[in-house]
């Protein structure tokens, strides 16, 4: 957490560093690859290592923006996921073993209510399996939290395909209007207090606070629309009809293919390779449609966000973690999914651990946007 002392010097350094900071897509790629690695194992050492690596990179590379505290929030959510998982195990049971820790009074639900047993013996083996499972979910959440803490949402929004220009403009408008709403509520309430209205009944609040704030916001949106229109907003011209038709066709074909692929994945009648190929091809066609539509949109970019070698290196370091887990899965599969019955201290798979340690590379590659030295 920043101390008050360094808030005074931050603005200049942050501005300077903003030109070189990592692309948000690179952070998301890195975090999702790390999460993929976490999804491929239940080994507690590896999972804790992933949490540690994510935490290290976050403390090293995060800025001082409002969202930078997300890692801690997600850490708390992850811990509660473990707690919930344990509570599930204790109440609803799970895998069993010989080492009984304690017994709860048990009841078996009747057959029409799924015939589950509630309560009963709580074993060390079962509790350990539940803890590993909860830890895996918590690690996934922590990886997402790391991405939230590291990637700037506004810059992420700039990576939205150009074809979705209007929609992303709407989101940008939303992001800048939301703080004004808070200010608007304050203004309306002050005016209300000055008029001597201190009633706290919901009906009165609705009429004298909510309604004016909403009217204000919607009127403001009309003013904004007029401003946008007068500055030449709008882009529908200049796209030839054949191009438009081709885009539409590609998008619809891709969508139909995705539906067919999803159906093929579900049914047992279709061979798996065919189903996966259908899904992959139609996803590619849809992506092509979006890319094609983006190309046709006449627009310029102000200070384009380049995806440089650093960004590629960060994604590659995340991929190293996945490669490590895959190698371990081939060479030492038992260590990736440690047995909990009989109880044993799990081994540390070397390949996977090495790959995950490589994922700390961003701590060295990405300059801290706080301007401090790492």
* Site residues (CB under 8 A) for another protein, limited to 332-371: none
Residues between 207 and 246 that touch another protein (CB under 8 A):
207, 210-211, 214-238, 244
CB of 20 to another protein, least distance (A): 16
CB of 57 to another protein, least distance (A): 17
CB of 101 to another protein, least distance (A): 16
Question: 56 or 172, CB closer to another protein?
Answer: 172
Radius of gyration of the chain (CA): 27
By CB under 8 A, residue 316 contacts another protein: no
Choices 7-15, 191-199, 279-287, 352-360 (CB under 8 A): range interacting with another protein: 279-287
CA distances from 213 to 138, 184, 189, 208, 219 (A): 40, 6, 10, 9, 10
In 3D, which of 180, 254, 244 has the Cα closest to residue 213? 180
Structure tokens at 182: 């808070």
In 3D, which of 53, 48, 39 has the Cα closest to residue 317? 53
CB of 284 to another protein, least distance (A): 10
Question: 161 or 354, CB closer to another protein?
Answer: 161
C-alpha to C-alpha distance for 179 and 175, rounded to whole angstroms = 8
Question: 140 or 314, CB closer to another protein?
Answer: 140
Question: 361 or 370, CB closer to another protein?
Answer: 370
Structure tokens at 44: 């507690």
DSSP letter at 163 equals: G
C-alpha to C-alpha distance for 357 and 364, rounded to whole angstroms = 12
Distance, CA of 109 to chain centre: 38
C-alpha to C-alpha distance for 69 and 48, rounded to whole angstroms = 20
**Among 129, 314, 322, 366, contact with another protein (rule: CB under 8 A):** 129
Structure tokens at 314: 């960060």
Residues between 152 and 191 that touch another protein (CB under 8 A):
153-154, 156-178, 180-184
CB of 373 to another protein, least distance (A): 26
**Among 12, 16, 20, 117, contact with another protein (rule: CB under 8 A):** 117
CA distances from 103 to 23, 108, 273, 284, 295 (A): 53, 15, 48, 54, 65
Choices 46-54, 92-100, 330-338, 345-353 (CB under 8 A): range interacting with another protein: 92-100
CB of 224 to another protein, least distance (A): 4
Give the up-direction half-sphere exposure of residue 219: CA atoms within 13 A in the CB hemisphere.
7
Question: 149 or 365, CB closer to another protein?
Answer: 149
By CB under 8 A, residue 106 contacts another protein: no
CA distances from 347 to 2, 294, 305, 339 (A): 38, 50, 43, 10
By CB under 8 A, residue 100 contacts another protein: no
CA distances from 168 to 132, 160, 162, 178, 352 (A): 40, 7, 9, 15, 39
Question: 50 or 264, CB closer to another protein?
Answer: 264
CB of 200 to another protein, least distance (A): 16
By CB under 8 A, residue 83 contacts another protein: no
By CB under 8 A, residue 98 contacts another protein: no
| Per-residue interface string for the shown chain with another protein, residues 4-43, x marking contact by CB under 8 A | --------------------------------x--x----
CB of 361 to another protein, least distance (A): 23
By CB under 8 A, residue 258 contacts another protein: yes
C-alpha to C-alpha distance for 269 and 260, rounded to whole angstroms = 13
Which residue matches tokens 């009841």? 107
CB of 10 to another protein, least distance (A): 19
Choices 129-137, 307-315, 341-349, 357-365 (CB under 8 A): range interacting with another protein: 129-137
C-alpha to C-alpha distance for 49 and 325, rounded to whole angstroms = 13
């Amino acid at each position: 957490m920043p101390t008050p002392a360094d808030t005074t010097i931050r603005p200049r350094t942050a501005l300077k560093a903003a030109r070189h900071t990592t692309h948000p897509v690179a952070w998301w790629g890195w975090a999702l690859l790390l999460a993929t690695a976490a999804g491929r194992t239940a080994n507690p050492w590896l999972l804790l290592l992933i949490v540690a690596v994510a935490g290290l990179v976050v403390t090293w590379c995060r800025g001082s923006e409002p969202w930078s505290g997300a890692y801690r929030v997600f850490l708390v959510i992850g811990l509660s996921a473990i707690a919930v998982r344990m509570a599930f195990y204790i109440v609803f049971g799970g895998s069993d073993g010989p080492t009984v820790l304690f017994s709860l009074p048990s009841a078996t639900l009747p057959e029409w209510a799924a015939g589950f047993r509630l309560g009963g013996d709580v074993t060390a083996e079962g509790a350990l399996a539940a803890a590993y499972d909860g830890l895996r979910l918590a690690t996934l959440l922590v990886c997402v939290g790391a991405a939230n803490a590291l990637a700037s949402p506004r810059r992420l929004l700039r990576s939205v395909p150009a074809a979705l220009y209007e929609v992303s403009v709407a989101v940008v408008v939303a992001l800048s209007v939301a703080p004004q709403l808070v200010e608007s509520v304050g203004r309306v309430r002050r005016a209300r207090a000055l008029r001597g209205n201190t009633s706290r009944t919901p009906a009165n609040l609705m009429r004298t606070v909510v309604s004016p704030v909403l009217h204000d916001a919607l009127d403001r949106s009309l003013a904004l629309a007029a401003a946008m229109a007068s500055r030449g907003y709008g882009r529908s011209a200049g796209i030839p009809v054949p191009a438009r038709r081709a885009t539409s066709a590609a998008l619809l074909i891709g969508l139909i293919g995705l539906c067919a692929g999803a159906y093929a994945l579900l049914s047992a009648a279709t061979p798996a390779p065919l189903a996966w190929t259908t899904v992959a091809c139609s996803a590619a066609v849809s992506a092509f449609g979006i890319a094609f539509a983006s190309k046709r949109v006449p627009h310029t970019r102000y200070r384009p966000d380049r995806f440089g070698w650093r960004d590629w290196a960060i994604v590659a370091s995340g991929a190293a973690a996945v490669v490590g887990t895959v190698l371990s899965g081939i060479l030492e599969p038992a260590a990736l999914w440690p047995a909990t019955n009989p109880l044993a201290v799990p081994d540390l798979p070397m390949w996977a651990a090495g790959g995950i340690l490589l994922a700390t590379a961003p701590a060295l590659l990405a300059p801290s946007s706080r301007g401090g030295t790492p």
